[in-house]
Amino acid sequence: MKTVVVNHEDIKREWHIVDATDVVLGRLASTVAGVLMGKKKPAYAPNQDHGDNVVIVNSDKIVVTGNKANDKFYFRHSRQPGGGKQRSFKRQMEMDSTRVILNAVHGMIPKTALGRAILRKLYVYPGATHPHAAQKPAALNVK
């Protein structure tokens, strides 16, 4: 049996749309990360980008389970002494809910140049409208 290596020109990329209304953040992120990497495709290889494009709408309506809304924090550092800052989940959702989903999906893909290319195929919007209607995205069920 021969190992099949697919050329970049032969990869068929599809578009998917996900409505994040009342969807748990972790389940959404893990499902979207698998689609972005192309793990369900028969020609999947970890060193190639076989994934599809994903559009997420209504990112301001995601939910988290348990007490994570109060206990979860996002940490960043300016690389200066004493430059660490943290922001709560609630505050981050008020400021920019798209960053919550981007951060969750980023944690589930490789931290390499290939991972950065994979993450460029993710589009997150806080409302129900998006500019990708011409691509005719198919609905992706996440529950």
- Minimal CA–CA distance to 61: which of 128, 136, 106, 116? 128
- Mean pLDDT confidence for 53-81: 96
Tell me: pLDDT of 104 over 90. yes
Q: How many CB atoms lie within 10 A of CB 16?
A: 20
Distance of CA 2 to the CA centre of its chain: 33
Q: Is the pTM of this model over 0.85?
A: yes
Q: CA angle 78-81-87, nearest 5°?
A: 45
**pLDDT for the residue numbered 7:** 87
- In the chain, the domains with their CATH numbers are 12-139 (3.90.1180.10)
Report how far apart, in Å, the C-alpha atoms of 31 and of each of 47, 82, 128, 136 are.
20, 37, 20, 20
- Mean pLDDT confidence for 63-79: 95
Tell me: pLDDT of 5 over 90. no
Question: Do 111 and 104 contact (CB within 8 A), yes or no?
Answer: no
* Residues 6+ positions from 102 with CB-CB distance below 8 Å: 119, 122, 124
